[in-house]
Amino acid sequence: MRRQGKVKDTVLIVEHPPTVTFGVREGINRLVGEKESLEREGISLVKTNRGGGATAHNPGQLVCYPIIDLSKRRMTVDEYVSVLEDIGICLLDKLGVTAVKREVFPGLWVVGRDDANMSRPEKIASIGIHLSGMVTSHGMAINITNDLSIFDHIVPCGMDGVSITSVRKSTGVEHEMKAVKEYLVECVRKYLGMEQ
């Protein structure tokens, strides 16, 4: 519908039940253990058409799915990914977490107090997108209060040795997800100029 001009640019903000999703890059869709063990724990396995490798979703993780026409905004794919990261940085700043971008590794990272040189950053947000006719789908998942043990079942984004964190783990604060979603709307409006 967006490609046909029947709807305006739209952003979906959701939480998912326990799910592991796989991206199109088969070589980096890596599980730890057997698929059957995830299914026994009630974790769904879903193949997607987004970029990137395996990632995990569950309640308390905020997922932002922009469906926007990049050609109408005269925006390149790299610029769009950078804007998604800026939206995440904006949201996390409101929640008391300083997150940073890393070249070559889409997503957001938190650096520990004793680790100013980025040698062991923790990942707090993942990005995986798909384009069809320059219209985006999929997007960004940000760990807020979710149970991080779901990530024990995968090699996040196919990257060995990556530690995953959340706002709750980084700050010790339990945020109300309704308020976090409202903050995210503010950040989306700031960086994408979206109307309500």
Positive or negative, the Cα torsion across 67, 77, 18, 41? positive
| Domain annotation for the chain: domains and CATH numbers | 10-192 (3.30.930.10)
Mean pLDDT throughout 51-65? Answer: 95
Q: Identify the DSSP state of 118.
A: -
Tallying the residues shown for the chain, one arrives at 196
Q: Which two tokens stand for residue 138?
A: 């999929």
What pLDDT, in 10s, does the model give residues 96-141? 999 999 887 889 999 765 545 455 679 999 999 999 999 999 999 9
Which residues are identified as catalytic? 157
pLDDT of residue 196: 56
> 99 vs 39, 76, 166, CA distance in Å?
33, 23, 11
8 Å CB contact between 150 and 58: yes
Mean pLDDT throughout 76-97? Answer: 97
**Chain centroid to CA 14:** 11
Q: Which residue has the tokens 């309500």?
A: 196
What pLDDT, in 10s, does the model give residues 6-25? 999 999 999 999 999 999 98
For residues 103 and 169, the model is more confident at 169
What percentage of the chain reaches a pLDDT higher than 70? 94
What's the pTM value of the predicted model, to 2 decimals? Answer: 0.93
